[in-house]
Chain A
Amino acid sequence: MDIIRNFPAIAILLCLFAGIFSSGLKEKAAGLVNSCLIVIEIGLNLATLLYTISLGDSFVYVMGKFPAPWGNELRVGVLEALLALFFCVIMFLSMWGGKHKLKDEVDPEKTFLYYVLLDLLLSSLLALIYTNDLFTAYVFVEINTISACGLIMIRQNGRTIEAAVRYMIMSLLGSGLLLLGICMLYDMTGHLLMSNIHEAILTIVAEGQYTIPLLIMIALISVGLAIKSALFPFHAWLPDAYGYSTVSAAAILSSLVSKGYIFLLIKIMYRVVGIDIFRNSHITDILFLFGLMGMIFGSLSAIRENDVRRMIAFSSVAQIGYIYMGFGMGTEAGMVASIFHILSHAATKSLLFIAAIGLTEVSDGKRQFIYLTGSGYRNKMSGVTFTVGSLAMVGVPLFSGFISKLLFSQAAILNHGKMLPAMIVLAISTILNAIYFMKTVIRIYTPVPNSPYPPMDLREHWRYATALFLFIVLNVVLGVFSDPIVRLISNGLAMLG
């Protein structure tokens, strides 16, 4: 079974090759290549996951022939494989859910480029998850940014280009800081491989050298990645980017791209700096504070919003706040909660985006709430799915959101200093969440006597309906069988350290 050790590298390279290959293909063929690619990726990552579980430990894959301090490495543990598998599944469902809208959204001549970008995005995500080398991580961060930017602006209108420019500017600020942080790290330790850096940092800290540069480095990297993942004060680009791009792109961007950066931050916390040193730097407190602010202000903006997709986008700001709040607690429990929330948010948010498109579609493409009245009757599947998504976001038991809120609150209770603010903000944010999601659900189920818009025939859009159904299943699975997943996450975290 040792052949499975090659799978992560194959997965990354396969995506890159598929991207290059697709750029010479027509629209249909490129789509086919993309779908096949993601299915293969799911298989590869599943095999990797099973292998790591049976191995009980993480393994290192050496890229090329150079050994440890100089060469480039992948490092694969349970957590990485789990996330990679999950990201592939979400990507697949989001792709299929948005496929029927593609011909309206993107110029047919350029559709193949869309698939190329998706392939590249997937490769960069996988690389971010698996890599053990900081500079490789930086390069793939940039690839990720570029392909995400392309995905935002492939639907050509003024809004998306502006959103893409804003996204690029914020991302570049973030990656500038990240790059500087990595350079400082290299300067201090002389290594680029995460494990070697960690050893070097341990000696540095033990000898008491470089305290200030270390602090500055941690701050630079955290802030850089926080900017890129749209933590609260840096989220200005997000609603436009998610609100106006193609629906699959919005789903993928909100559920995966920001999560890739967040996972990189987790790896840097655990594997490069070491969680104890990171906690002692008190950067966690700042992340905690911003997380809390994001939870409240994101929800408040979402309540004010009159456009369903922008509302969902703003809700992402709040959810990313949750994740950073979990980091900020600086405990193992908080981290597990955050990682579970990464999964649950990815599953729920993409579901909401895909369901929302079905609702707007039966409302003449209009996205303001007033037009959406009664759309739950015109498109039954979307209505039900949106309701499930809302319930999951609000935190009703049996759905994924409940478990992540439970984990967050348990983590908060274990951390005495931060318990009260965390619990209070959690409660406020949940109520705010409930307000805007329930408002929407009621709106889509308020009947209108003679609707001018025709209902959607689900038999014609079976792919869409299946994708929605699978999303619901995914959410319920996360909500009901959370125990093994939480156990995997904590095992994976132990392997990371």
Chain B
Amino acid sequence: MITLLTMLGIPFFFGLFLCCNRNITNRKTLLSIVSLGFVATAVVTVFSWTSLLEQEITVFWLTQNLPLMFHLDRIGLLFSILALVVFLCAGFFSFSYMEHEKKERRYYGFYFLVLAILQGLCFAGNMVTYYLFFELLTLSSLPLVMQENTKEAIMAGLKYLFYSLCGAYFCLFGFYILFQNESTISFLWGGNLLADSIVAHPVLLQVAATCMIFGFSVKAGMFPMHGWLPTAHPVAPAPASAALSAVIVKAGVLGIIRVIYYQFGAFFLQGTKVQTLFLSLSLITVFMGSLLAYGEPVLKKRLAYSTVSQVSYILFGLFLLQGTAFTGSMLHVLGHGFMKASLFLCAGAIIHLTGKTRVEEFTGLGKEMPILLWCFTISSLGLIGIPPTGGFLSKWYLAIGALDSEIPFFSYVGPVVLLLSALLTAGYLLPITVKGFLPGAEFDTEKITKKEPNLWMLLPVLILTVLSVLMGILPNGLLGFLGSVFR
């Protein structure tokens, strides 16, 4: 109990402290406080991973049958690791990225709050707790989107808020129905629907499942509720977009996992119209996201569209309700998290150093900052799915899972769409590398000066890139871990 509260409390305290304390005007003081916060959070979180795994902790009872309960299981652990790593990397990246930005204090304050809430989300042990942190996540990440305070940023923030709240209420609506028909609201693998209710109101429960999955899919940016994502992610400062795109969308993914596998149970949805509906929606999103990214000239927007597409890979794997595909999805959760964060940070570094935002301006960039562009390239390759990166592995498992699932139509259309989308991904990411390293004959190489970003920026990018490659090279431990999740 105490470990848990400290784990949530430390980043929360730092967040509140930074938000409320007006006296910190010196940048050095601010940064040292922030670093202290990061280190403390990391230590406590790592400690609580080891000491709290598979423990149920009820903090208090909201009403008689609604406890606020935390329970770190293996899925939660996976997401928690992802959140911590990406947040630390993007956080240290911000040290030099935010140098010339206004309102740094506010930025770091909310950054810590979001981190605390994300950890709460990963540790949540039942639906109410999850919903509580899900709502809080929306509200606390809003200031990050609106950080720039331009009209565009505020409108994007509003759009984000409305989409997310609508989604959250769909969840709540479904949950109200579910609540009456399940034995307990805790997350249990295989679901905890009452046997009588499955017989008595199957349609009603399917409606509830649709509502809940649909609600969480808003956060994950699935068609038709993806509209907020390409608007909201690029307007945030680059490290914040990295966190948003790599981690916060995954809150929706985790929600869907909880709903499908831990509340309704995979067997209940197997072969229903709900499964068909969401399989088709996710495939549409995979293809459409790539297509939109292909046509988008602004790099950060292109990456945001790519998130739309890539997260739906994960969702597709989840909706297949099949072990191998589930493993693929989980691998992609991690892989996409690391790669997308790295790509966004690269984009941020480029914007920070050159002020260029559009893809066609990046010609010859490889001569100016070779290491950064190499990281960008490796992460791109991972996102496309070329071995030996982690992206290859996850897509491989997804495709195998789809073929094994023997769902008519989707088992063979799915892999085809995934392949097509991978080609499109190559089409929208690789030209940046190619143009960057091989600017062409007419490009004046004389004027180029080395502008490699400093270590604060480079190191997080490197770490993320290396992690994504390591996943592909040494996957055995991870695969064993994931195999123990899907029973």
Chain A interface (Cβ < 8 Å from any Cβ of B): 391, 394-398, 403, 405-406, 409-410, 412-414, 423, 426-427, 430-431, 434-435, 438-439, 442, 446-447, 479-480, 482-483, 486
- Bound together, the chains give a CA A414 to CA B61 distance in angstroms of 23
B426 contacts partner chain A, Cβ-Cβ < 8 Å: no
B131 contacts partner chain A, Cβ-Cβ < 8 Å: yes
CB <8 Å contact, B149 and A447: yes
Instruction: Tell whether A482 pairs with B63 under 8 Å between CB atoms, given A397-B128, A406-B176, A434-B165.
Output: yes
Chain B: minimal CB distance from A476 (Å): 12
- Write out the residue numbers on chain B whose beta carbons fall within 8 Å of the beta carbon of A431: 165-166, 169
- Write out the residue numbers on chain B whose beta carbons fall within 8 Å of the beta carbon of A414: 180
- Bound together, the chains give a CA A398 to CA B59 distance in angstroms of 13
27 A–B contacts from the bound complex (CB under 8 Å): A395-B172, A397-B62, A397-B131, A397-B135, A398-B62, A398-B132, A403-B62, A405-B172, A406-B63, A406-B66, A406-B176, A423-B173, A423-B176, A423-B177, A426-B173, A427-B169, A431-B166, A431-B169, A434-B165, A434-B166, A439-B158, A442-B142, A447-B149, A480-B60, A483-B63, A483-B64, A486-B63
CB <8 Å contact, B162 and A435: yes
Chain A: minimal CB distance from B106 (Å): 10
B225 contacts partner chain A, Cβ-Cβ < 8 Å: no
Chain A: minimal CB distance from B117 (Å): 13
Told that A396-B132, A434-B162, A442-B142 touch, could you supply 11 new A-B pairs with CB distance under 8 A?
A: A395-B172, A397-B62, A406-B66, A412-B176, A414-B180, A423-B173, A423-B177, A426-B173, A438-B161, A447-B149, A486-B63
Secondary structure call for the B interface: helix
CB <8 Å contact, A446 and B154: yes
- Bound together, the chains give a CA A1 to CA B60 distance in angstroms of 35
CB <8 Å contact, A396 and B63: no
Chain B: minimal CB distance from A444 (Å): 13
Instruction: Tell whether A409 pairs with B176 under 8 Å between CB atoms, given A434-B165, A482-B62.
Output: yes
CB <8 Å contact, B132 and A397: yes
Which residue of B is nearest A405, CB measured? B172
- Write out the residue numbers on chain A whose beta carbons fall within 8 Å of the beta carbon of B60: 480
CB <8 Å contact, B61 and A483: yes
- Write out the residue numbers on chain B whose beta carbons fall within 8 Å of the beta carbon of A403: 62-63
B294 contacts partner chain A, Cβ-Cβ < 8 Å: no
- Bound together, the chains give a CA A61 to CA B142 distance in angstroms of 56
B179 contacts partner chain A, Cβ-Cβ < 8 Å: yes
Which of B131, B132, B177 is close to A413, meaning CB atoms less than 8 Å apart? B177
Which residue of B is nearest A424, CB measured? B173
- Bound together, the chains give a CA A250 to CA B131 distance in angstroms of 34
Chain A: minimal CB distance from B215 (Å): 11
Interface positions of B from 109 to 147, Cβ below 8 Å from A: 128, 131-132, 135-136, 139, 142
Which residue of A is nearest B132, CB measured? A397
Chain A: minimal CB distance from B109 (Å): 13
- Bound together, the chains give a CA A360 to CA B64 distance in angstroms of 40
- Write out the residue numbers on chain B whose beta carbons fall within 8 Å of the beta carbon of A406: 63, 66, 176
B390 contacts partner chain A, Cβ-Cβ < 8 Å: no
Chain B: minimal CB distance from A494 (Å): 17
- Bound together, the chains give a CA A193 to CA B154 distance in angstroms of 60
B234 contacts partner chain A, Cβ-Cβ < 8 Å: no
CB <8 Å contact, B169 and A430: yes
Chain B: minimal CB distance from A384 (Å): 11
Chain B: minimal CB distance from A383 (Å): 12
Chain A: minimal CB distance from B154 (Å): 6
- Bound together, the chains give a CA A413 to CA B200 distance in angstroms of 14
Instruction: Tell whether A410 pairs with B180 under 8 Å between CB atoms, given A423-B173, A431-B165.
Output: yes
B252 contacts partner chain A, Cβ-Cβ < 8 Å: no
Instruction: Tell whether A480 pairs with B162 under 8 Å between CB atoms, given A397-B132, A427-B169, A446-B154.
Output: no
- Bound together, the chains give a CA A446 to CA B103 distance in angstroms of 13
- Bound together, the chains give a CA A409 to CA B181 distance in angstroms of 13
Per CB-CB distance, the 9 closest pairs between chain A and chain B, nearest first, are A409-B176, A397-B132, A434-B165, A427-B173, A413-B180, A483-B63, A396-B135, A483-B64, A430-B169
